[in-house]
Structure 1
Amino acid sequence: MIVRSDGVSQDPVGALLAEAFPYQHVLRADIAADLRRCPVLLIDPPNKSFFGHVVELAIGLALCDQSPYLRLLHCLDHDLTARLLTMAGYGPTDNATTAYGAWRRNGSELQPAHIFTVASRLAHVRNLLNDLDRHCSDSVDVARHLLEQYPRLLSGRAEETYHTRRVFRTVWASYSSGFHNALRSYGAATTQLSLLDARRHADYLLGTTVLEVKTGRLDEDRYLDELIQQILTYALLAHHDGHRVTHIAVYAVRYQRLLRYHIDELANQLAGTPIDLAGIGAELADAIETRPRRRLAT
């Protein structure tokens, strides 16, 4: 652990990015000024973390042409999986009724109530898997058994679900007003992009754009600093892993704003000089690989 001049400890990844990109504060100021001009959605979900998962999963289900989140779906029985995929606008291909990865979007219009139901169920599965992953290697099998025995684990508390659904309607109306079409225009969607042998996961890769979705507040420097470090990390690791990445983007849900940057131009600006993305990506990968591994349900 490295200690900054102000006495606050900084992890090696943050220290490496701070050294490679000393002008991150310029981007932070630009984003802050941009977001202050945006019409802010007045939303207050009862469980902000859970709501963030629901929105991320819903957007992924809406963007993908083939059914995503297969690890989550494999925790459910066939009948429930088929119902959820149908509600999300997917249908089986010929001779592939149980090969969920082969289900494809059928062109039907997405209903907010349906997409919320699917995304909220999968969010509960994700939370369960994240808990199990810390303790067992066969977490999918354990989760499937638990959900068979206790199906109420997929529903959560009725009052919390009711209030979350109300907030989701507001967010989904905003998303559907133009953001969905904008994101679709970036290219084919991959959800929960696994990076550096699953040590990190980006929300989406859309064509050649790495996208991060933020449903929470971005009105303090610390939130923006975390966001900038996050998108730089994902872009560098994606480049390191061999993905063709040209842009990084942030969909700030609460602020109804989509920000997108050309990775080469942004990296050079934040570094203050032309920079070798491959070299920095390799250094970043090495710094992360020396840290304890963490797993994430996808």
Structure 2
Amino acid sequence: MIAECHAAPQDPVGTWLADTFPYQHTLRAEIAADLRRCPVLLIDPPNKSFFGHVVELATGLTLCDQSPYLRLLHCLGHDLATRLLSMAGYRPTADAAKTYNVWHRGGSALHPAHIFTVASRLAYVRSLLNDLDRHRFHAGDVARDLLERYPRLLNGRPDETYRTRRAFRTVWASYSNGFHSALRSYGPATAELSLLDGRRHADFLLGTTVLEVKSGRLDDDRYLDELIRQIVTYALLAHHDGLRVTHVAVYAARYQRLLRYRIGELTNQLAGTPIDLAATGAHLAALIRDRPRRRPAA
């Protein structure tokens, strides 16, 4: 039985993925059955997309030994950026003004409220950059100017902030109870992994595992189909880029579940036949290069 293709017919990448990996429906059914057995966190953040950014950024701030999200930090004033890095547990290792990549993680325990504050501020910067990237080539400069003039852009409405913080506390209590240690065990973390010269970005590279963090619902075939296309794309592009990758993983925060697959076994299962990762990754890369280039993600 061939899986139903939910990709738009005019999307050559989606069509190629559906044709090359016709057994995605098998994995979709496996994941759906797995998640149905999981204890689901009862959260209802007011802005699901923003909440997803907050959870991803908070995860990166606790996994990365060297300060991540430099593009976001450079949109902020130096005092605020260094204050946020300190709040997230990072300490400077060199006396270089505005060079945030020389900050490294300290050993002190972090309070969830501090992580939420830092992650939510950076999530507002990311949202602003994503809006500007759709229209401007120098979004960083524009965002920096806007945030200097209107610092309240880094604050949401009090009622939305309260509901977002409450949902975050629930997710973070679950994350801290084993998932953080499990993800750290995969290896050193790189956030916002740039693939194919920035045409795609995965959430993380942990050692040899490409990781996607999902805080939203995965109880619909459309969501799972998109997730499967996403992890297959990132796995193939990482291999094509010459990265030493062996696994792809998904942290489904709402479902308190960590899924991890060996790349070769995953692609063979979805294709129904052994896959040449080098040739398949090169073909996918060529298809993506032929499409109009996306603006860089924040």
Normalising by the smaller structure, the TM-score range is over 0.9
The 8 Å contact of residues 212 and 250 in structure 2, kept in 1 or not, is answered as yes
Partner of 1:260: 260
Paired residues in the alignment total 295
For 2:292 and 2:274, locate their aligned partners in 1 and report how far apart those are by CA, in whole Å: 32
SS at match of 1:9: coil
SS at match of 2:254: coil
What is the TM-score when the length of structure 1 is the normalising length?
Answer: 0.96
Partner of 2:114: 114
* RMSD, matched Cα: 1.6
What is the TM-score when the length of structure 2 is the normalising length?
Answer: 0.96
Partner of 2:243: 243
Deviation at 1:96, TM superposition (A): 3.4
SS at match of 2:255: coil
Partner of 2:233: 233
SS at match of 1:243: coil
Deviation at 1:21, TM superposition (A): 1.3
Point out where structure 1 has 5 or more consecutive residues left out of the alignment. Answer: none
Partner of 1:186: 186
For 1:119 and 1:5, locate their aligned partners in 2 and report how far apart those are by CA, in whole Å: 36
For 2:288 and 2:40, locate their aligned partners in 1 and report how far apart those are by CA, in whole Å: 35
Closer, same or farther: CA 294–8 of 1 in aligned 2, 3 Å? closer
Deviation at 1:98, TM superposition (A): 3.1
Deviation at 1:97, TM superposition (A): 5.1
Partner of 1:45: 45
Query: Does 2:70 correspond to 1:70?
Result: yes
For 1:268 and 1:157, locate their aligned partners in 2 and report how far apart those are by CA, in whole Å: 48
The 8 Å contact of residues 66 and 105 in structure 2, kept in 1 or not, is answered as yes
Task: Tell which deviates more after alignment, 171-180 or 152-161.
Answer: 152-161
Deviation at 1:70, TM superposition (A): 0.1
For 2:126 and 2:98, locate their aligned partners in 1 and report how far apart those are by CA, in whole Å: 21
Partner of 2:148: 148
The 8 Å contact of residues 171 and 253 in structure 1, kept in 2 or not, is answered as yes
For 2:256 and 2:80, locate their aligned partners in 1 and report how far apart those are by CA, in whole Å: 33
For 2:253 and 2:139, locate their aligned partners in 1 and report how far apart those are by CA, in whole Å: 31
For 1:89 and 1:83, locate their aligned partners in 2 and report how far apart those are by CA, in whole Å: 10
Query: Does 2:126 correspond to 1:133?
Result: no
Partner of 1:171: 171
For 1:87 and 1:220, locate their aligned partners in 2 and report how far apart those are by CA, in whole Å: 37
The 8 Å contact of residues 125 and 154 in structure 1, kept in 2 or not, is answered as yes
Tell me the percent identity: 76
SS at match of 1:13: helix
